[in-house]
Structure 1
Amino acid sequence: MKFSFGKIAVICMLLVSCSSDDAWRTKVQNAEYLHRSIKQVTDVIVHDIFSPPVASRIYTYVSVAAYEAARHQDSLCVSFAGQLHGLGQVPQPDKGKEYCYPLASVQAALKVGRALVFSEDKMDAFYEGIMQEFKNDGVPKDVFERSVAYGTQVADHIIAWSQKDNYKQSRSFPKYSISEDPATWKPTPPAYMDAVEPHWNKIRTFALDSAAQFKPVSPTKFSTDKESGFYKEAFEVYTAGVKMTDEQRQIASFWDCNPFVMNVKGHVMFATKKISPGGHWMNITSVACKKTNADIVKSAEAYARVAIGLVDGFISCWDEKYRSRLIRPETYINQYIDENWTPLLQTPPFPEYTSGHSVVSGASAMVLTKLFGDNFSFTDSTEIEFGLTARSFKSFIHASEEAAISRLYGGIHYRPAIENGMIEGRAVGNFINEKVRTRKEGKKLADGK
């Protein structure tokens, strides 16, 4: 068969045109769109100084929204509807119509994020920029509008779900009452802030059967007797602070994650803004996704599963904190050991037992190990933007154990809060791994085994 030069030119033009028309489908698969969106939520959480429990709630609704919109790109993925408490069937895309699911996922995540933070202007500026990037990728106008509309439907559904978790009602619950009992928590310097979220156990759990499902053993009985177990636990914290090594100091600072740090200079008090424990583990999730080149669906899946572990971990931990209401090391040591001692880290404004960082680190490590496998080595760069160097770990469990013991080095927890907190957190994480499905039966989770 012979072709004239003119026919060949037309065919070439058609091939180029088809290739150009399809190019956007490849461009939008870049998971960086979602990673950057989650990072934007983190940046605003830090800016707005949300408490660690509240931050975990924000992360979970944002991540679930992102996953529910993205999952339709992978036929093996299943919805969280009917698995997470109170979550009804999520709106579905129209059959037979084309969508850009990465765009819908980002739309859902950012709209939910905007609804849950204070700095809406910061979310709006980021949103306008990333939407323009999708347009620049060449997403056809009808697909763009349809995808944004679908992402909005998912977001509205998730926002409506969030409004029934008892969070708004808890804003008007009474403040924590200081007890005269010497064993109980008292506000600590320099700000002597009120106790944070004393009613957090009344927030609806996401996957856990109840806030007390993994209730830890009781803390060591309070005593001022120098031969008592409690005194010895406090003295261990005191000694660790006095004999701090450079490595221990670096570990404590790296895992500080206290958004409440207050600085006092003369009559002026101002806050140093830091990432929360949940934000730190969400960033580790990002690191793992990027190392494995996880696509947007697998990345959304990972963020959502980790976030569920975080939020239920904080609910479980706070349930115990305001049950035992245990005195912090700083208060005890100043009263009974050394009135001039100060911890390396500023004591967070809530009771001591169990350690929140230990609980959520244990939960996150279990979830991430299920997703990405054992012995997953990585370098954690989370704290670089806060002036600290990156740290490398052999596995998620290795990182979680360092995060936990950092609380003793920092002078803010006794050892039982750390060790029992890890047990509590791992139980939460393992429960979520077993109960919550994101893949059809027999299919692996993300890139894990």
Structure 2
Amino acid sequence: MRSFRHILCTIGCLFVAEAAGVCQSQSPTELFHRAQKNLTRTIVHDIFSPPVASRVYMYANVAAYEILVLDKENYLSLHGQISGIPNVASIPAQGTINYPLAALQAFFKTGGKLVFSENLLQDSVAVLLHEIGEDDPEVYKNSLRFGQAVSDSILKWAAEDQYRETRRTRRYAYSKAPGKWIPTPPGYIPAVEPYWNRIRPLTLDSAQQFKPAPPPAFSTDPKSEFMRQTREVYDITRSMSKEQTLVASYWDCNPFYLNTQGHLNFATKKLSPGGHWMSIAGRAAATAKLDMVATAGAYLITSIALFDGFISCWDEKYRSQLIRPETVINTYIDEKWRPLLQTPPFPEYTSGHSVISTASATVLADYFGSAFAFVDDTEVEYGLPERAFGSFRAACDEAAISRLYGGIHYRAAIEEGQVQGELVGKMVLQKINLSQRDNHPRAVKSR
């Protein structure tokens, strides 16, 4: 068994980019970080929308975490905290279990069933499972079997969240009323996930729980608040500093980016905003040198904040259906103006980046501490430099204002989005407790 897995490892190291051509022993925690990156690369490859990507992250991380806590008495299962979540502890285990191995198996099996390109994940599964270092063939087999059983249970629960039903809904009908959103250049992509508010949330009572204040009323009067905020977008984008331009590009995270050359259109695959915050959670856990279960907790709490954040935000987007700055500016101010960033294919209010970044920062600040400093290298592989932040709040504030610099959001969507996101994050913390001890991670408070 050992020699067979050794062969798989050797083959995997030749073909899996993340292994960098070298198959060397790593800790289970390091392997878990690699598993997260593999899932992110698959999500990017499949061009999932930000809400759908958050769903993939959440269920995969629930599966892994629920296995790891079985072996850690100081950590609490989500069973009993989230309505309907399976009781993993009731799933029979045949023989001795290597819990990190089982958790990786559950993570890959769950994530694999929620993406299109499951084969991309499977290319590296043999490598990562081998490197756990389990030499006993029976324990190895028992662990994979248990991980599969947990994944099956989580996927059965996931199948009841209304996702499949929203795939069968009628095509979104655009409002013809003044001030309502319509698709934007260059691709004029149809509305993305207009029925996402039907998805079952984890900690929210409903998608409408944190309904934000309405946006400024649409008006073409130059003295109106709406046109004042529109003019702000126009003026800022015409005189930005190099730093503002970098900030806008750094937080772009647009999986729908479309290149246009004459009659040729092709996509550039990019990270989703949720993927960026999952990367930040991982970087923070690595900086704090957390063990595997504490690392899993950081990924988990972030994925839940993202998931519920998108449900809350998308509920408002398709309620207010607010027109994007690009459409207003081109119609009433300057027909030749273009935003620095491509306008995403959904209504403007509230800002998705502002909601999910603030929700993520809220739970991460609770987990690691409000003054936790870190270096974010998420965008390096996309050609952008690292950025250092003194806190998660500083990072989410920058992510939020980047949407004004990018020319795709009015200030009200950013400010109200951050209010909405903080409420979502606080609700996640109110409903979910991962630790039995106040001084135990939820993470570095005792370190």
TM-score normalized with structure 1 length:
0.91
Structure 1 distance, partners of 2:141, 2:90, is 16
Q: How far is 1:85 from its partner?
A: 3.1
Deviates more, 1:257-266 or 1:139-148: 139-148
Q: Is the 8 A contact 2:93 2:142 kept in 1?
A: no
Partner residue, 2:20: none
Tell me the equivalent position of 1:425: 421
Matches within 5 A, 1:300-379: 300-379=296-375
Q: Would you say the 8 A contact 2:325–2:408 is kept in 1?
A: yes
CA–CA distance in structure 2, aligned partners of residues 138 and 72 of structure 1: 18
Whether 1:255 and 2:251 are equivalent positions in the alignment is yes
CA distance in 2, matches of 1:293, 1:51: 32
Which one of the candidate residues 113, 116, 126 is aligned to 1:115? 113
Matches within 5 A, 1:133-282: 133-134=131-132, 137-282=133-278
2:385 maps to which of 373, 389, 393? 389
Whether 1:43 and 2:80 are equivalent positions in the alignment is no
Equivalent position of 2:295 in the other structure: 299
Distance across 2 between alignment mates of 1:322 and 1:441? 41
| SS of alignment partner, residue 88 of structure 2 | coil
- What residue number does 2:84 align with? 86
Conserved in 2, the CA contact under 8 Å of 1:213 and 1:316?
A: yes
Q: How far apart are the structure 2 equivalents of 1:161 and 1:220?
A: 40
Letter paired with 2:359: A
CA distance in 2, matches of 1:138, 1:154: 20
Contact 1:330/1:347 (<8 A) preserved: yes
In 2, Cα distance between equivalents of 1:219 and 1:243 = 26
List, as ranges, runs of 4+ consecutive aligned residues in structure 1 with deviation greater than 6 Å.
none
Tell me the residue number matched to 2:69: 71
| Partner of residue 409, structure 2 | 413
Report the residue type matching 2:117 in the other structure. S
SS in 2 for 1:365: helix
**Shift of residue 273 of structure 1?**
0.6
Q: 1:222 touches 1:230 (CA, 8 Å); kept in 2?
A: yes
* SS of aligned partner of 1:270: strand
Is contact 1:28-1:102 (8 Å) kept? no
Which residue of the partner structure matches residue 124 of structure 2? 126
* Corresponding letter in the other structure for 1:218: P
Residues 192-241 of structure 1 show CA distances to partners (whole Å, capped at 9, x for unaligned) of 00000000000001111110111110000100000000000000000011
Q: Give the Cα–Cα distance (whole angstroms) in 1 for the partners of residues 421 and 365 of structure 2.
A: 14
Gapped regions of structure 1 (runs ≥ 5): 1-26
1:43 and 1:144 map into 2 onto residues whose CA distance is: 27
In 2, distance between residues paired with 1:145 and 1:96?
Answer: 9
The root-mean-square deviation of aligned C-alpha atoms, in Å, is: 1.4
Which consecutive unaligned segments of at least 5 residues does structure 2 have?
1-24
Say whether the 8 Å CA contact 1:91–1:157 is kept in structure 2: no
Partner letter of residue 102 of structure 1? P
CA contact (8 A) 1:252 1:406 kept: yes
> In structure 2, what is the equivalent of residue 20 of structure 1?
none
How many percent identity over aligned positions? 50
Q: Is the 8 A contact 1:370 1:445 kept in 2?
A: no
Q: Distance in 1 between matches of 2:89 and 2:120?
A: 28
CA distance in 2, matches of 1:294, 1:335: 52
Query: Helix, strand or coil for the counterpart of 1:263?
Result: strand
Find out whether 1:30 has 2:28 as its counterpart: yes
Q: Are 1:366 and 1:397, in contact at CA under 8 Å, matched by a contact in 2? A: yes
Separation in structure 1 between the aligned mates of residue 26 and residue 88 of structure 2, nearest angstrom: 23
Counterpart of 1:120, as a letter, is E
Structure 1 position 28, deviation (Å): 7.3
Distance in 1, matches of 2:170 and 2:55, equals: 21
Please give the alpha-carbon distance, in whole angstroms, between the structure 2 residues aligned to 1:320 and 1:446: 31
The CA deviation at 1:123 is 1.2
Take 2:173 and 2:134, find their aligned partners in 1: how far apart are those partners?
58
Structure 2 residue corresponding to 1:99, chosen from 97, 100, 122: 97
On the 8 A contact 1:82/1:88 being kept in 2, the answer is: no
* Larger Rg over CA atoms: 1
Superposition deviation, residue 443 in structure 1: 5.0
**1:434 and 2:441 are equivalent in the alignment:** no
Please tell me the residue identity of whatever aligns with 2:350.
T
Please give the per-residue CA displacement for 1:378-436, whole angstroms capped at 9, x wherever unaligned. Answer: 11000000111111100000000000000000000000100000010011101111111
1:193 and 1:163 map into 2 onto residues whose CA distance is: 28
Change (3 A) 1:138 1:165: closer
Q: Cα distance, 1:98 vs. partner?
A: 3.0
SS for the counterpart of 2:57 is helix
